[in-house]
Amino acid sequence: MRDSMSPNLVYKQHRWVYAFLQMEQSNGKRSSPIALFKYLCSKIKRFMLRILILFISFFIANLSFAQEKFTLSGYIQDAVDGEELIGSTVFFKELASGGSANVYGFYSVTVPSGTYAVEFRFLGYETLSKTIILDKSQKLNIELTPSSTTLTEVVVSSKVQDANVRSTQMSVNTLETKDLNAIPVILGEKDVIKTIQLLPGIKSSEGGGGFFVRGGSADQNLILLDEAPVYNASHLLGFFSVFNSDAIKDLTIYKGHIPAEYGGRASSVLDIKMNDGNSKRTNVSAGIGLISSRATIEGPIVKGKGSWIISGRRTYLDLFLKLSNNADINKSQLYFYDLNAKANYRIGKNDRIFLSGYFGRDKFGFSDVFGFDWGNLTGTARWNHLFSDKLFLNSTFLVSDYNYNVEIFGDEGQDNGFNITSSIRDYSLKEDFSYYLNPSNTIKFGANGIYHTFVPGEFVPGAQSGLNELILQEKYAWETAAYVSDDISFSDKVKASAGLRYSLFSQIGPGDIKTYDADGDIASSTRYIKGDVVKTYGGLEPRLGLTFLLEKESSIKASYGRNRQYLHLISNSTTGTPIDLWIPSSNNVKPQIADQIALGYFRNFKENAYETSLEIYYKDMKNQVDYRTGAELVFNEDVESQLLFGKGWSYGAELYVKKNIGDLTGWVSYTWAKTERKFDGVDYGEKYAASWDRRHDLSIVGIYQLNKKWTLSGAFVYRTGNAITYPIGKYEVDDQVAFRYGKRNADRLPDYHRLDLGATKQIKNTDRYESSLSFSLYNAYGRKNAWIINFREDPDDASKTQAVKVSLFTFVPSITYSIKFK
């Protein structure tokens, strides 16, 4: 009784597929892509409602067909190091269907009783076949062995070979550490944030820590490290990210159709998972690079019961400062470090706990004049519990903190310095259930609550400084959400994933809550006591994805999703700085809302050796935040009065071609995109390009396995210029020449292109240890790309002004030595 749909339902569903395809054809003639998008938007919304009704009827139909069925469930792990194989699949040959392992490696498939040939698969691993007589529900833990060739080290893998075509998820990319290791990066510092920028739809600028997904601003990305949000993911002015790739298992970025279990940001989710540690034996590995060294130690707790891992890295740029003769310079500090730690332990058959933490900090000290440090702390405690072989629960408690601290020391013994601190801290509790109803239907539901504390700034001077203490008001908020989602296959050809999330946000006291007039001056102030609710926002966030399999290796997908965002990042830089400020939605600041609709065609060639996709999207963004001219954003009690609110929209097309198998692997991604905004307070309400708007992005990534010893790699990027405001003239006041500006972002930076090359040589691979040497050359042909453009008086002729292009990074070579003791 595999296909439990009634004939009537099958008929209806086919009619809708037909109608949908018709709709696409009939609109192909429309001249404007926006008009088409808008039309599609309205159609999809109606379509979605119908689908929901279908879901309900289908669900009921499912229940009524409850026959004699049994469940096969368990965990799927790597046979060598015991790491959970997230997304590995269980395939029942006779049924031509199955399931896949969740993020904890747990799978559960419920099918009618019988004898089945069951295959457990994961790319880069040997497929394991078992004959299973399923006459009662049973638990089966599986270990898969990695394929013997060294090819797996460089394979750009996807979880399941044709998952990109078959799954209901679109607008998603996954990378594993293996991918990260092969791609050349600056100074050999493998970096997830830099690597995802080579994927379609993700933009950033050189040297910036932030990234922009499908036209969303940098604060619209939810960055999760083992479920804990990371509020500032940059080290050292954004040239490096806080994620030490040695401690990372894999990452997934959702650019659209964000699953309902995620929420809180308008544009994307970057979900990063830390390594669990080797549960088979103790391992030590280390790497020595030009600017940093790293070390990892991992091992079992009780063999087979659990494992632990500690991984750290530290830069040593400042050690060179010590060589200076200047007493001020050799007393200075300039470094950052990261420490990741994780442990997991299995208690009995049905329970497992995970503890993970991250602590990282940048330290910058200049002699005895000042000190400046900033960093994140995250901690996650999770408890997996199986209520039955079909119902899985994960409970999470997490804490996340970002803070910075500035200290001006003043004169020795004089007590005339001062200290500035600022922080944001979250405590959060989450409950996430998965219910594996049958192979074609998985239901997820859950709820979470976050308590946010914002400390915008505390200025504490020494007694002799002549300055007054200044404490900006702390802000508090509750953010809660509940969701349900259902992944369902209507037939071999049609699948859907429908989710509904309801989120609620309350700004709470204590505090003096102000309102502001049109000029940004204070209009009123009301005192709220502790626990008083100042303002509450909330609403539904529907998420829907549909997949229509056309033939064996191709599909059409459509999705719609709404995301609400209650926190906003205030920054006076496009690239992000340590003193950027997160503020909650409040009586003055409404939540940002993004609606995105996307349509994609997915096709694989040559038995999934090549994956290709073309996606188009339209995103509408409400309550976007920009700043008044001359806004004072730093240490301002009334920072909300400096903000302007408006709307934004973006649309684009993303082409992605990826080669998975062979000596040469890699991908080509091309993005065409446009992002515009419209604010009453900017250029009299005329639309303007967002500062991260650019038209074309091309990335080509290639990894070539030359022989058993050598792996070569290359990455080429070409981007047209970001929007920027150039002067439209100059004038003289106060004996100074000032530049005159016109409309915002009316100009474009010059085009950007760059080639990076890498090579890795395996030196030794014995039973005791393996070692390798990696070389890289960043910006191999020395292109002088514009980082910023400055305008200034001509130093040779004071009667003239000139434009000066500042470039970074030409020909940066690096070498890294890595060793792993087994």
Partner 1 sequence: MSKPITTEPIFGKMRKAYIILSIIVSAALLQGCEKVITLDFNDAEPKLVVEAIISDGPGPYTVQLNESAGFYESNVFPAREGATVRIMDDLGNEETLIEVSPGIYQTINLQGELGRTYTLLIESEDEIYTATSTMPSVVVPVDTLVIEYIPENLFQDEGLYCYAYATDPAGIANYYRYNMFVNGAPYITYPENSTDPLDGKEDDNFYLSDDKYFDGNQIDIEFPNLLLIGDTVDIELHNLDKGTYDYYRTLVEAIYGGGVAPANPISNFGDSALGYFGAISIQSRQMVVE
Please give the residues from 463 up to 492 whose contact with partner 1 meets the rule CB under 8 A: 464-468, 470
Q: Residue 338: name the closest of 250, 227, 244 by CA.
A: 244
Radius of gyration of the chain, Cα coordinates, nearest whole angstrom: 27
State which residue, 533 or 803, has the beta carbon closest to partner 1: 803
Could you list the beta-strand ranges (E) of 325-417.
333-347, 351-366, 370-386, 391-408
Cβ at position 463, least distance to partner 1 in Å? 11
Stretch that binds partner 1, among 45-53, 235-243, 301-309, 545-553 (CB under 8 A): 235-243
Contacting residue, 733, 766, 767, 768, with partner 1 by CB under 8 A: 733
Residues 616-645 that bind partner 1 (CB under 8 A): 626-627, 629-630, 634-635
The Cα 617–Cα 546 span in angstroms is 15
State which residue, 119 or 683, has the beta carbon closest to partner 1: 683
What b-and-e string marks burial along 360-376, b requiring 16 or more CB atoms within 10 Å of the CB? bbbbbbeeeeebbbbbb
Cβ at position 713, least distance to partner 1 in Å? 22
Residues 24-53 that bind partner 1 (CB under 8 A): none
Stretch that binds partner 1, among 121-129, 615-623, 658-666, 800-808 (CB under 8 A): 800-808
Contacting residue, 41, 61, 237, 484, with partner 1 by CB under 8 A: 237
Work out whether 122 is an interface residue with partner 1 (CB under 8 A): no
Cβ at position 808, least distance to partner 1 in Å? 5
Work out whether 299 is an interface residue with partner 1 (CB under 8 A): no
**Is the bond leading into 578 cis (omega within 30 degrees of zero)?**
no
Residue 238 phi, psi dihedral angles, 5° rounding: 85, 5
Residues 157-196 that bind partner 1 (CB under 8 A): 187
Cβ at position 755, least distance to partner 1 in Å? 17
CA 604 to chain centre: 25
Residue 637 phi, psi dihedral angles, 5° rounding: -55, -35
Binding mask 654-693 for partner 1 (x = CB under 8 A): -------------------------------------x--
Work out whether 230 is an interface residue with partner 1 (CB under 8 A): no
- Name the residue type at position 369: V
Sign of the torsion angle spanned by Cα atoms 583, 586, 588, 591: positive
Cβ at position 731, least distance to partner 1 in Å? 4
Work out whether 93 is an interface residue with partner 1 (CB under 8 A): no
Residues 346-385 that bind partner 1 (CB under 8 A): 364, 366-367, 369-370, 372
Stretch that binds partner 1, among 159-167, 394-402, 523-531, 727-735 (CB under 8 A): 727-735
Residue 664 CB contacts under 8 Å (≥ 6 apart), including other chains: 702, 703, 704, 705
Cβ at position 372, least distance to partner 1 in Å? 6
613 with 656: CB under 8 angstroms? Answer: yes
Q: Residue 695 — left, alpha, or beta (φ > 0 → left; ψ -120 to 50 → alpha)? A: alpha
The Cα 494–Cα 487 span in angstroms is 11
State which residue, 327 or 763, has the beta carbon closest to partner 1: 327
Contacting residue, 316, 383, 478, 726, with partner 1 by CB under 8 A: 726
Q: Which helix (H) or strand (E) holds 679?
A: strand 664-679
Work out whether 417 is an interface residue with partner 1 (CB under 8 A): yes
Stretch that binds partner 1, among 487-495, 522-530, 695-703, 804-812 (CB under 8 A): 804-812
- The conformation of residue 381, written as its DSSP 8-state character, comes to E
Stretch that binds partner 1, among 234-242, 523-531, 593-601, 757-765 (CB under 8 A): 234-242
State which residue, 107 or 627, has the beta carbon closest to partner 1: 627
Number of residues engaging partner 1 in binding (CB under 8 A): 89
Q: Which residues are paired to 277 by β-bridges? A: none
Work out whether 410 is an interface residue with partner 1 (CB under 8 A): yes
Contacting residue, 130, 349, 606, 805, with partner 1 by CB under 8 A: 805
State which residue, 119 or 373, has the beta carbon closest to partner 1: 373
Q: Residue 355: name the closest of 391, 399, 387, 393 by CA.
A: 399
Q: Would you call 369 helix, strand, or coil by DSSP?
A: coil
Work out whether 744 is an interface residue with partner 1 (CB under 8 A): yes
State which residue, 388 or 629, has the beta carbon closest to partner 1: 629
Contacting residue, 90, 420, 556, 703, with partner 1 by CB under 8 A: 420
What b-and-e string marks burial along 69-80, b requiring 16 or more CB atoms within 10 Å of the CB? bbbbbbbbbbee
Residues 443-462 that bind partner 1 (CB under 8 A): 459, 461
Cβ at position 465, least distance to partner 1 in Å? 6
**HSE of 90, CA atoms in CB hemisphere, 13 A:** 31
Work out whether 789 is an interface residue with partner 1 (CB under 8 A): yes
Work out whether 117 is an interface residue with partner 1 (CB under 8 A): no
Structure tokens at 57: 């009827």
646 with 680: CB under 8 angstroms? Answer: yes
The Cα 228–Cα 628 span in angstroms is 33
State which residue, 42 or 572, has the beta carbon closest to partner 1: 572
Report how far apart, in Å, the C-alpha atoms of 142 and of each of 93, 131, 157, 803 are: 17, 13, 21, 63
In which order are the strands placed within the sheet that holds 89-92? 97-100, 89-92, 114-121, 128-134
The Cα 107–Cα 75 span in angstroms is 6
State which residue, 297 or 470, has the beta carbon closest to partner 1: 470
Cβ at position 629, least distance to partner 1 in Å? 4
476 with 452: CB under 8 angstroms? Answer: yes
Stretch that binds partner 1, among 210-218, 252-260, 298-306, 732-740 (CB under 8 A): 732-740
Binding mask 238-277 for partner 1 (x = CB under 8 A): -x--------------------------------------
State which residue, 179 or 580, has the beta carbon closest to partner 1: 580
Residues 568-607 that bind partner 1 (CB under 8 A): 572-574, 577, 579
Q: Residue 460: name the closest of 695, 328, 635 by CA.
A: 635
Contacting residue, 764, 773, 800, 821, with partner 1 by CB under 8 A: 800
Cβ at position 666, least distance to partner 1 in Å? 28
Work out whether 731 is an interface residue with partner 1 (CB under 8 A): yes
Distance linking the first and last C-alpha atoms of the chain: 49
Report how far apart, in Å, the C-alpha atoms of 226 and of each of 252, 339, 357 are: 12, 14, 8
State which residue, 16 or 778, has the beta carbon closest to partner 1: 778
The Cα 448–Cα 433 span in angstroms is 12
